[in-house]
Structure 1
Amino acid sequence: MVKIAFIGAGSHTFTLTLVRDILSFPELRDSTLCLMDIDAERLDRIDTATRLLVDDHDLPTTVDATTDRRAALTGADYVITTIHVGGVEPVENEIEIPQRYGINQSVGDTLGPGGVFRAMRTIPTMLDIARDMEALCPDALLLQHTNPMAMVCWAIEAETEIDTCGICHSIVGTAHDIADYVDVEFEELDYWVAGINHMAWFLQLEHDGDDLYPDLKAAREDPEIYAQDVVRFETMDHFGHFITESSHHLSEYLPYFRHDQTEIDRLVDASAYGTDRDEFEYSPVCWLPTGEYFDQWRTIDHAAQFDPESMDTSLSRSEEYAARIVHSLETGVNRRMNLNVSNDGRLITNLPDDAEVEVPCHIDGTGIHPCSVGTLPPQLAALNRTNVNVQSLAVKAARERDETSLRRAIKLDPLTAAVCTLAEIDDMVDDLLEANAAYLPALT
């Protein structure tokens, strides 16, 4: 029996997905699932939902729920983090204040001014969790889902002795997209992917031993297929490889696509979403964030959305990795998946030694074993480094509470630098520091 602690369990849909995944494996059904969140109402809903799953299948699983983080961590074998620090207000500020300066982020949770400021308010809490783990469950593995993924994992690796891997579904999601584009079964794809989180590259893409890149390039010429993934196809055209994460996310990590409204309009009109522009712009992942989305987010009645009487209690397994990692470590079943781990100067040789990279890893009963990728094609490593530069200084800013590093991180952001002068960036940072002061550590 293992104890799995969920920190930030109030993320109802995501937590319930991971719980289903765990319970879908017979070997993990005698686990203790300890659900922890600081929001007692959200915690009660996920506790109720988890117990419905367990009871409906008459499983031997133990379910605990607590608002006490240290109680949840005590004696844990695995810790899953899905936290969000600060609620709606800081996110809204991190999108809308940069927008006043012409920086139109699509999500703002991974890079850019939004990603850097999210790191500043998230990393201190994540370090507190990791330090509690050092005291209460030092041998536990931290399965880390919280964004900004690379920055959070980088800080934990640098500051603590906790074994950590960052988990993201963007690679398997992209593989499904590619399978659709080239009309092959997902299970028949063979791929080798490496880079950084949300900017990893399909270095090899095969089906039955044949290179699929010619097929993908041919599919790109179909207007309906191209419209589904405009930015990723255009990036492939110019740099030679298909990249992970959606076109909407990718557009904010590079300087080419969101630097002025004319280009944004071109991409929206070229995309499948151009046919329903209003719906697209209200989406949480959008070309031009609007106040309407935040108004909608603030007024969601989460309690009304959860109906125990009609809840699906099936144990269907998602594509998420966390349960598969636990299952492999506990049973010895060998699996390969891409995880975010420290580069250590050996996995991708032309990225910085201390960077957080996303590389193939083998998992079995002896542990997680990252694969050495070697050298990325130079143009791909160069694009990765533009993002790693920001991550490095943002992590330094969060670890040292250093305002100068914070400002330099944002000045190095590719999209920000394509839009703003240095003086404008300082003015924007001033505005963000003032607006989100309640959610940030004191800076020096």
Structure 2
Amino acid sequence: MTKIAFIGAGSVIFARNLLGDILSYPELQGCTVSLMDINQNRLDRTVTAANAVVEHNDVEAVIESTTEREEALEDADYVLNMIHVGGREPFENEIQIPAKYGVGQAVGDTLGPGGIFRLLRTAPVMLDLAHDMEELCPNALLLNYTNPMAMVCWAVDEATEIDIVGLCHSVQHTAEAIANYVEVPKEELEYKVAGINHMAWFLEAEHNGKSVYPTLRAAINERDIYNRDNVRFEILRHFDAFVTESSHHMSEYIPYFRTDEATLEQFIVEENYEEYFVDWMPTGQYFEHWCEYQQEAAEMDTSEIEPEIERSEEYGSRIIHSIETGEPRRMNINVRNDEGAIANLASDACVEVPCLVDDRGINPCTVGKLPPQLAALNRSNIDVQRLAVRAALEHDEDALRQAVKLDPLTAATCSLEEIDDMVDDLLAANADYLPDQLVEESAQSIATN
């Protein structure tokens, strides 16, 4: 039967939800799920939750657990990756140090100084994982949930022979948000989306064959709707498309909303809307939220975790089911653009495009050219990603510094000299989590200067 390895399975809620997704398909029941995490206590909690799901729903599945990655990967058919490398300390540094220089990141896990340094500490582990797969399960598909999504997938694509795709739920969440704003059932909204992870574009959005864009544009003048998602509505106003990431996230990938306190205050959502797609927070607040969530998850009584199987919106189980059964599906997946799915973005970039998935695998659809203004916004992020990947793979300090200097938000906030100082501080603060070669090169460079 099919073997599915969960790497980083100590994230108990997420791992439990993915397991439920998989076992919701009768064709995937009976599979072997190998749960792996380096933290035995966290792993044990996930195993308890997983066994409860199997027993409560009376489904067949073999649940294995191990702290050894090689054991989990042996003969796997699919590898679900959900690791977080380094924990709290480097994450906090990646938010607080740039903030001292005026770079007020919202989350800091995708682009900017935070996303770049997160790649530097994540890439070595991801490459080790992929190289292990080359030995132990070379034909397995690596389904990646770890951020920075585009850069992680790009690095693994560039340096290994493993097939990797990136999975995110921003398209699904944004489709639900748009349906809410234009007041149509979300299951009846049809759409075409393409771009890059966290900055893909709803090129088409229709209900009953008619575009909902006129209604969506009109919603800009409805203050109760506009205030729920004001950054995305401003992007729609100025660039003529609705973007897939929330206002909170999108604000940190561009130079327009987080460069001064007055603008930042203007675009913080103050209303306590219940919809989950509203998540605006000031600099540093997301980190506090993340820490609270981690603490709550660690203290949660596993007996309180819902054992019922209820399929989530995540794509992972759907991909596995389609490949195993041949049932065709169309999903937005992060893949390398080497087949030219988006004609006016670079072929080496990681793009998020519609893909057809069945027993022939994952096949990206041809989108053509993005409107020039949308492609330009994507390129402003892609060029940062490319240099960051070079820094991670080649331990190239010049590429690292250039990546941070080209980041749109950082460039709008800091002088070139300030950016170099910020990079020095980040390298020193997170030295224990970064490749030795890069830290040593930086120390030599500072000593020489």
TM-score, structure 1 as length reference: 0.95
Q: Secondary structure at the match of 1:76?
A: coil
The question of 1:286 aligning with 2:281 is answered: yes
Distance 1:301 1:383, change over 3 A: closer
Give ranges in structure 2 of 5+ residues lacking alignment.
Answer: 442-449
Q: How far off its partner does 1:219 sit?
A: 2.0
Q: Is the 8 A contact 1:146 1:152 kept in 2?
A: yes
Q: Is the 8 A contact 2:248 2:279 kept in 1?
A: no
Alignment match, 1:406 = 400
Alignment match, 1:280 = none
| C-alpha distance in 1 between matches for 2:286 and 2:6 | 32
Q: How far off its partner does 1:140 sit?
A: 0.3
Alignment match, 1:156 = 156
Distance 1:324 1:263, change over 3 A: same
For residues 256-280 of structure 1, what are the alpha-carbon distances to aligned partners after superposition, in whole Å with 9 as ceiling and x for unaligned? 0001111001112xx3xx2469xxx
The question of 1:347 aligning with 2:331 is answered: no
Q: How far off its partner does 1:334 sit?
A: 0.6
Q: Is the 8 A contact 1:107 1:284 kept in 2?
A: no
Q: Secondary structure at the match of 1:238?
A: helix
| C-alpha distance in 1 between matches for 2:87 and 2:375 | 34
* Counterpart pick for 1:369 among 360, 363, 388: 363
Distance 1:284 1:226, change over 3 A: closer
For residues 29-81 of structure 1, what are the alpha-carbon distances to aligned partners after superposition, in whole Å with 9 as ceiling and x for unaligned? 11000000001000000001001111112222000000000000000000000
| C-alpha distance in 1 between matches for 2:343 and 2:76 | 35
Alignment match, 2:64 = 64
| C-alpha distance in 2 between matches for 1:405 and 1:154 | 15
Q: Which 4+ stretches in 1 moved above 6 angstroms? A: none
Distance 1:295 1:267, change over 3 A: closer
| C-alpha distance in 2 between matches for 1:260 and 1:104 | 9
How many residue pairs match? The answer is 435
The question of 1:52 aligning with 2:52 is answered: yes
Q: How far off its partner does 1:285 sit?
A: 6.1
Distance 1:15 1:436, change over 3 A: same
| C-alpha distance in 2 between matches for 1:297 and 1:77 | 35
| C-alpha distance in 1 between matches for 2:236 and 2:359 | 37
1:54-133 correspondence to structure 2 within 5 Å: 54-133=54-133
Letter in 2 for 1:429: V
For residues 253-306 of structure 1, what are the alpha-carbon distances to aligned partners after superposition, in whole Å with 9 as ceiling and x for unaligned? 0000001111001112xx3xx2469xxxxx996222159827954982544213
* Counterpart pick for 1:306 among 301, 304, 313: 301
Q: Is the 8 A contact 1:350 1:375 kept in 2?
A: yes
Letter in 2 for 1:150: A
Distance 1:135 1:292, change over 3 A: closer
Q: Secondary structure at the match of 1:104?
A: coil
Distance 1:175 1:218, change over 3 A: same
Q: How far off its partner does 1:249 sit?
A: 0.1
Q: Is the 8 A contact 1:230 1:267 kept in 2?
A: yes
Distance 1:207 1:275, change over 3 A: closer
Alignment match, 2:446 = none
| C-alpha distance in 2 between matches for 1:290 and 1:361 | 35
| C-alpha distance in 1 between matches for 2:210 and 2:289 | 46
Q: Is the 8 A contact 1:123 1:398 kept in 2?
A: yes
Distance 1:98 1:205, change over 3 A: same
For residues 318-376 of structure 1, what are the alpha-carbon distances to aligned partners after superposition, in whole Å with 9 as ceiling and x for unaligned? 00000000000011111000000000151111111100000000001111110011100
The question of 1:379 aligning with 2:373 is answered: yes
Superposed CA RMSD in Å reads 1.8
Q: Secondary structure at the match of 1:357?
A: strand
Distance 1:72 1:292, change over 3 A: closer
Q: Secondary structure at the match of 1:362?
A: strand
Letter in 1 for 2:422: M
Distance 1:285 1:263, change over 3 A: closer
Give ranges in structure 1 of 5+ residues lacking alignment.
Answer: 278-282
Alignment match, 2:383 = 389
Identity over aligned residues, as a percent?
57
Letter in 2 for 1:357: V
* Counterpart pick for 2:428 among 410, 429, 434: 434
Alignment match, 2:183 = 183
Alignment match, 1:325 = 319
Alignment match, 2:143 = 143
Q: Secondary structure at the match of 1:360?
A: strand
Q: How far off its partner does 1:123 sit?
A: 0.8
